[in-house]
Structure 1
Amino acid sequence: MQTKQPKAAKTLVNDVFEVKEKDPDGKKFDKVSRIICHSDLYEFVMTLDINIDIYPVEVGDKLATVLTTGISGDGTTSGSYDKTLQQPGKGTSQMDQYEYVMHGKVFKYKDVEKGNQSHVEVLISFGGLLLQLIGEPSRLSEFEVDMNLFLLMRKS
């Protein structure tokens, strides 16, 4: 009987985003802010709900951001969060290199018009905190509905 080999993790986004707006529609929750960011490399627009109680951000901050299917140090994905990766001596993970990490699931992927160009909108839920990512279809083609993802961020 063959043993099932773990899938290789995919990094779907690796870019630096600048925070352009914070709470554009007003503050809704005490510990959560909605930030709107633009990326340097691929011209993505990201709207993200972020827990500012544990990770405060301000307009003008630059955030190195990764969306990936796995965070284990061996480059594989389990498709779910593994809390043993946080325990000392249990191996390394990409979380060690970042300041803010969330685990979530893609729940919508659709085509949208932005100006006179075709774009794709990806919506991800991180336990109620939402991320909307808009960009060129060729840059977001590997996202799939029901895909489990990790968001990793650090200020750069």
Structure 2
Amino acid sequence: MSKPVVFEDIFEVLAADPGGKHFDKVTRFQCHSDLYEMDLMLDINTSIYPLHEGDKFSLALAKTVNLDNTPTDGTFNAQMQSKERASLMDTYEYVMFGRIFKYEDTPSGANNQMRVQVFISFGGLLLQLTGDLQKLQELEVDANIYLLMRKV
């Protein structure tokens, strides 16, 4: 049986709203990870989950929040937070549900090493993750996905 988490890494916030501020409660963060050398652009509702330049956080992408890997449809229900039923959400501070809408190859660097870009929409909040194909190959277009975050 496969695990629900298909990607996990620790990112550092490099810049907030690098293209300028567009929305009152949403900030676009430019981030980078040292472990897998990933680049991340991520929109966060900062009135709910504040982040600042220099902050580090763990980011996981999962197909389901159920530890037994049973599927979910993204609809919130009280059982998801029940003490009788543990879930991935119990160990994270911020969770969003979305859909992968674009996946493209992009050459990078002097040796044209192949990297991919994955684009995910969380109800209008966007994520762009760029990195090694081997680390992102389990992400498929039109798949539902959970984003889970916690500060480290």
Q: TM-score, normalised by structure 1?
A: 0.88
CA distance in 1 between partners of 2:79 and 2:17 (Å): 33
Q: Which residue of 2 aligns with 1:30?
A: 24
Q: Which residue of 2 aligns with 1:150?
A: 146
CA deviation after TM superposition for structure 1 residue 139, in Å: 1.2
2:57 to 53, 63, 68: 63
Any conservation in 2 of the 1:98–1:154 contact (CA below 8 Å)? yes
Amino acid at match of 1:140: L
The alpha-carbon deviation at position 44 of structure 1 amounts to 0.8
Across the aligned residues of Structure 1 and Structure 2, the Cα RMSD in angstroms comes to 1.7
Percent same amino acid at aligned positions?
49
The DSSP-based 3-state class of the residue aligned with 1:142 is: coil
* Cα distance in 1 for residues equivalent to 2:33 and 2:79: 29
Query: Is the CA contact (8 Å cut-off) linking 1:9 and 1:76 kept in structure 2?
Result: no
* Partner of residue 43 from structure 2, selected from 40, 44, 49: 49
The answer (yes or no) to whether the contact 1:39–1:45 under 8 Å persists in 2 is yes
Match of 2:126 in 1: 130
| Residue in 1 that maps onto 2:4 | 10
CA distance in 2, matches of 1:152, 1:138: 21
Deviation at 1:92, TM superposition (A): 1.4
Which residues of structure 1 form unaligned runs of 5+?
Answer: 1-6
Gaps of at least 5 residues in structure 2 are: none
Checking the alignment, whether the CA contact within 8 Å between 2:4 and 2:66 is kept in structure 1 is no
Deviation per CA, 1:74-120: give whole Å up to 9, x if none: 23223434423444445111111111000000000010122232210
Q: How many residues align?
A: 150
Equivalent of 2:85 in 79, 87, 91: 91
- CA-CA distance at 1:70 after TM superposition: 0.8
The runs of at least 4 aligned residues of structure 1 exceeding 6 Å deviation read none
TM-score for the superposition, normalised by structure 2? 0.91
